[in-house]
Structure 1
Amino acid sequence: MHTHSFPEITLLISHYNRSQSLARLVHLVDELGLEFGNIIVTDDGSRPEHVEKLQNLQREKGFTLLTVPKNMGMGHNFNKGQDAVKTEYTLFIEEDFVPNPSFVPALSKALSILKENPEMDIARFYAYFKYPYLRPIGDGFAEMQFSPFKAGYRKFFMYSDHPHLRRSTFFQKFGRFREDTRPDKTEYLMMMSFLHNKGKGVFFEAYQDLLTQSNSSEEPSTISREFWRQTDNIFVTAARNLYRHFKMNRDYLMGRK
């Protein structure tokens, strides 16, 4: 098996009550021949049976395991994980993602982009939808281009908690994740901070080819969302899109935090 070494990168994996999914991800990293400067698993107070499995996996694989005695929230989990990173770059992945073989060359290219372009803050590998304003730069990547005057609300989604490579100095420019709010609001506030602080990044255009998000009935998603956020009802969808358009434009222009 060919080894792909990335000593400048720490793989930071967030985890909560899905030890089977985490084990799958860690083993796939090995199968793909990926080697990192460090692997950190940051756990958000999982149930004892999951913590026991994490500890067994840690003894097998030798990664750094960060735990807390009780659930402190997603923001705290992300913060404590990033605080432990010592390398120049951080590859952030939540435990329910499965990397495909094509992820390896894409990661190598993303690292080259960040090294060659110091103004770039992030390289995104996965999304639920394609970022609407892109300038192709080659090898499947495109630079995200934001302007408050561009149409639609999806222009605001430059930052996402989905798998991405970022500089480990991320907090110095964009601040820490908020710890006093629900997960979707935590992500939203970081997204707004990214925009307000003139963040720049690249996006892999085949945005669901590199990784697969896989949740089973045994280990479903740990994030629950209200009905209006998920339903495909045409009237609810139209109202939701209109609400997001006005809210995001207002929050950005007023500097809401």
Structure 2
Amino acid sequence: MDVNVKSFPDVTLLITHYNRSRSLLRLLETFSQQNFSFGGIVVSDDGSQPEHLEVLKHQQSVYGYDLVTTPKNRGLGNNINKGQDAVTTPYTLYVQEDFEPKPAFIDHFRDALGYFEADPELDIARFYAYFAYPYTKPYGKGFVQMIFKPQLWASNHLKFYVYSDHPHLRRTSFFQKFGRYAEGVKGDITEYRMARSFIRNKGKGIFFERFNDLFYQKNSSDEPSTMDRAGWRESRNPLMLALRAVYLKVKLARWTYDVLYKKDN
């Protein structure tokens, strides 16, 4: 084997995909150029249009991935569930197709994998986010441990995002502790419910503080993001900012009740 190859036989790269085949190939090519070698690669497709699915089938022999498909779009939860079901290695590196690792990722990925091997209670290592996790304690080598604080005076609503669908490493046994992803609901609800399960089941997670050093998220005009978000949440209009502040306080109280006290239907 080439001594420059970064071999991770106990890790499967799981990529979820929907109608963004060029983005997917860019991600795979970047891992290849950086000499990553995984124990397996799984591409889980969520009922993409035929022209994208044809590209995925054609490139299978080039990148050596297992392709898991569905005849129609069934949403984020189903896409991750069926992809995770195809993983057979002890660890899963989950990356959506619109991300691309930076050269610095390799060293910190090794560190995270080492932490998993040393700490059987560790459930997730997060490598990217839009915002830093608000409540933490030092863990080591640039990572901090996320600490969920249930008290209402711990008022940063980002505390609920102990789990996110951004790039992360987890144990392939993740479902055994936290359950499967919610299906038949919008993607942000699927993500929230997994975060809720992570909190309720006392998950242990670490977060790389300099997350902007590890991944690009690339959304091109020809393959834009497939996730819709309410425009008012992004507005800088003073009235919208005031309304958003009130909304976040209500959200904090509602999510606190939901996570800590409400029983699932």
* Structure 2 length-normalised TM: 0.94
**Do residues 28 (structure 1) and 35 (structure 2) align?**
no
- For residue 111 of structure 1, what is the aligned residue in structure 2? 113
- For residue 193 of structure 2, what is the aligned residue in structure 1? 189
The Cα of 1:231 is off from its aligned counterpart by 2.5
Count how many residue pairs are aligned between Structure 1 and Structure 2: 257
Moved more, 114-123 or 140-149: 140-149
Among 165, 169, 173, the alignment partner of 1:169 is 173
Aligned residue type for 2:204: K
SS of equivalent to 2:113: helix
Task: From the superposition, tell whether residues 35 and 80 of structure 1 become closer, same or farther in structure 2 (CA, over 3 Å).
Answer: same
**CA distance in structure 1 between the aligned counterparts of 2:227 and 2:91, rounded to whole angstroms:** 27
The Cα of 1:256 is off from its aligned counterpart by 5.0
**After superposition, what is the alpha-carbon deviation per residue over 1:51-90, rounded to whole angstroms, capped at 9, x for unaligned?**
0111111122111111111101111100000001000000
**CA distance in structure 1 between the aligned counterparts of 2:163 and 2:148, rounded to whole angstroms:** 11
- For residue 92 of structure 2, what is the aligned residue in structure 1? 90
**CA distance in structure 1 between the aligned counterparts of 2:190 and 2:164, rounded to whole angstroms:** 11
Map 1:1-257 onto structure 2 (within 5 A). 2-149=4-151, 151-152=154-155, 153-233=157-237, 234-257=241-264
**After superposition, what is the alpha-carbon deviation per residue over 1:124-143, rounded to whole angstroms, capped at 9, x for unaligned?**
00001110111112211111
**After superposition, what is the alpha-carbon deviation per residue over 1:185-222, rounded to whole angstroms, capped at 9, x for unaligned?**
00000000000000001000012210011100000000
Contact 1:43-1:65 within 8 A present in 2 as well: yes
Moved over 4 A (4+): none
**CA distance in structure 2 between the aligned counterparts of 1:112 and 1:142, rounded to whole angstroms:** 15
* Consecutive unaligned residues in structure 1, runs of 5 or more: none
Moved more, 82-91 or 233-242: 233-242
* Structure 1 length-normalised TM: 0.97
Contact 1:228-1:236 within 8 A present in 2 as well: no
The Cα of 1:232 is off from its aligned counterpart by 3.2
RMSD of aligned residue pairs (Cα, Å): 1.3
SS of equivalent to 1:59: helix
**After superposition, what is the alpha-carbon deviation per residue over 1:3-24, rounded to whole angstroms, capped at 9, x for unaligned?**
1100000000000000000000
**CA distance in structure 1 between the aligned counterparts of 2:93 and 2:247, rounded to whole angstroms:** 32
**After superposition, what is the alpha-carbon deviation per residue over 1:111-150, rounded to whole angstroms, capped at 9, x for unaligned?**
0011111111000000011101111122111111112126
